[in-house]
Amino acid sequence: MSQSRRMSLAETLANTGSGMLLSWLIGLVVYPLFGFAVHPGQALALTAIFTVVSVARGYAWRRAFERLGRS
Protein backbone atom coordinates (compact mmCIF):
# COMPACT_ATOMS: atom_id res chain seq x y z
CA MET A 1 0.00 0.00 0.00
CA SER A 2 1.25 3.46 -0.88
CA GLN A 3 1.82 6.03 1.84
CA SER A 4 0.63 9.62 1.38
CA ARG A 5 3.08 12.48 1.71
CA ARG A 6 1.31 13.67 4.84
CA MET A 7 1.62 10.24 6.46
CA SER A 8 5.29 10.04 5.41
CA LEU A 9 5.93 13.32 7.19
CA ALA A 10 3.90 12.25 10.25
CA GLU A 11 5.85 8.98 10.51
CA THR A 12 9.19 10.75 10.18
CA LEU A 13 8.22 13.36 12.78
CA ALA A 14 7.03 10.68 15.23
CA ASN A 15 10.17 8.62 14.73
CA THR A 16 12.59 11.51 15.04
CA GLY A 17 10.63 13.40 17.68
CA SER A 18 10.47 10.39 19.97
CA GLY A 19 14.27 10.30 19.98
CA MET A 20 14.65 14.03 20.63
CA LEU A 21 14.18 13.85 24.39
CA LEU A 22 16.51 10.88 24.68
CA SER A 23 19.13 12.62 22.53
CA TRP A 24 18.91 15.74 24.67
CA LEU A 25 19.39 13.75 27.88
CA ILE A 26 22.28 11.79 26.42
CA GLY A 27 23.84 15.05 25.19
CA LEU A 28 23.83 16.42 28.72
CA VAL A 29 26.00 13.47 29.74
CA VAL A 30 28.12 12.93 26.61
CA TYR A 31 29.18 16.51 25.78
CA PRO A 32 30.94 16.96 29.15
CA LEU A 33 32.75 13.63 28.65
CA PHE A 34 34.40 15.21 25.59
CA GLY A 35 35.27 18.42 27.37
CA PHE A 36 32.28 20.50 26.25
CA ALA A 37 30.53 22.21 29.13
CA VAL A 38 26.96 22.77 27.95
CA HIS A 39 23.97 24.33 29.60
CA PRO A 40 20.72 22.33 29.21
CA GLY A 41 19.40 25.08 26.90
CA GLN A 42 22.46 24.79 24.67
CA ALA A 43 22.08 21.02 24.53
CA LEU A 44 18.42 21.48 23.60
CA ALA A 45 19.32 23.92 20.80
CA LEU A 46 21.88 21.50 19.36
CA THR A 47 19.39 18.65 19.62
CA ALA A 48 16.74 20.75 17.86
CA ILE A 49 19.12 21.56 14.97
CA PHE A 50 20.01 17.90 14.49
CA THR A 51 16.33 16.96 14.76
CA VAL A 52 15.25 19.37 12.01
CA VAL A 53 18.00 18.08 9.73
CA SER A 54 17.02 14.49 10.51
CA VAL A 55 13.33 15.10 9.75
CA ALA A 56 14.15 16.69 6.40
CA ARG A 57 16.59 13.92 5.51
CA GLY A 58 14.18 11.15 6.50
CA TYR A 59 11.31 12.70 4.59
CA ALA A 60 13.44 13.18 1.46
CA TRP A 61 14.65 9.58 1.49
CA ARG A 62 11.14 8.22 2.10
CA ARG A 63 9.76 10.20 -0.85
CA ALA A 64 12.67 9.12 -3.08
CA PHE A 65 12.07 5.46 -2.29
CA GLU A 66 8.33 5.92 -2.77
CA ARG A 67 9.03 7.21 -6.30
CA LEU A 68 11.38 4.31 -7.00
CA GLY A 69 8.74 1.84 -5.85
CA ARG A 70 6.24 3.16 -8.40
CA SER A 71 8.60 2.61 -11.33
Domain limits of the chain? 5-70
Give SS3 for 37.
coil
- pLDDT (tens digit per residue) in 2-61: 889 899 889 878 887 888 888 898 889 998 999 999 999 998 998 899 888 888 898 899
**Assessment of whether the complete model's pTM goes beyond 0.85:** no
State how far the Cα of 37 lies from the Cα of 31, in Å rounded to an integer.
Answer: 7
The confidence score (pLDDT) of residue 64 equals: 93
Query: What confidence category does residue 65 fall into, taking pLDDT thresholds of 50, 70 and 90?
Result: very high
Q: Are 16 and 58 in contact (CB under 8 A)?
A: yes
